[in-house]
Amino acid sequence: MTEDAPDRPSSLPARGVPLLIVAELPRDVFAWADALRRRHYPPDRNRLAAHVTLFHGLPPSAHGEVVRLLADLATRPPPEARLAGIMDLGRGTALAVDSPGMAALHREMAGRLSGLIQQKDAQPVRLHVTVQNKVSAAEAHALQDELARTLEARSFRFRGLGLYGWTGEIWQQLRIFPFRGTGDLGS
């Protein structure tokens, strides 16, 4: 989710903060989507880089289990994906992502993390990258119209799985688990 030092753990203590899991975009798709987000997300509310969230608010006590799970899943080849269009979020806009492989990984993770995940994360995942939120419906529809004219289909492979800690104000990168053979996909 971050461009700087994407594969190194941060200095944030791993214990004591809620955990989040994201599917890491390849660098080129990340840079493009993050630029859209910086351009269209209200600056006073944009505290995150572009991302594809898989799980929100896992308990801090699950840290070791989550690390083992992500390390295990990262031994697999990267799931293929494609930008599948635009999602209307009501007062925002997202890029829809189609990835049967990542959806299958989400189902597997949900099963293996059963009892630890929030109700909304137990539902089938709707993969997306939010590029705008908390704006007027008219502003959201204007961006959706613009993107409908300019958005091109784009295929990619996810780079890895990211583990982040929620500090109450920002997500702090804890560790990236690159998929087998990804190297610097998209660089």
List, for residues 125-184, the tens digit of each pLDDT value.
999 999 999 999 999 999 999 999 999 889 999 999 999 998 877 888 999 999 998 764
Q: Report the C-alpha gap between 77 and 114 in whole angstroms.
A: 24
The reply to whether 11 falls in a domain is no
Q: φ, ψ for residue 72 (rounded to 5)?
A: -65, -50
Give the burial string for 33-52 (b: 16+ CB within 10 Å, else e). bbebbeebbeeeebebbbbb
The reply to whether 12 falls in a domain is no
Q: What is the CATH number of the domain that holds 84?
A: 3.90.1140.10
Query: Which tens digit of pLDDT belongs to each residue from 74-106?
Result: 999 999 999 999 999 999 999 999 999 999 999
Range of the domain at 163: 19-178
Q: What is the DSSP letter of 158?
A: -
The reply to whether 86 falls in a domain is yes
The reply to whether 4 falls in a domain is no
Domain tally, the chain = 1
The reply to whether 151 falls in a domain is yes
The reply to whether 162 falls in a domain is yes
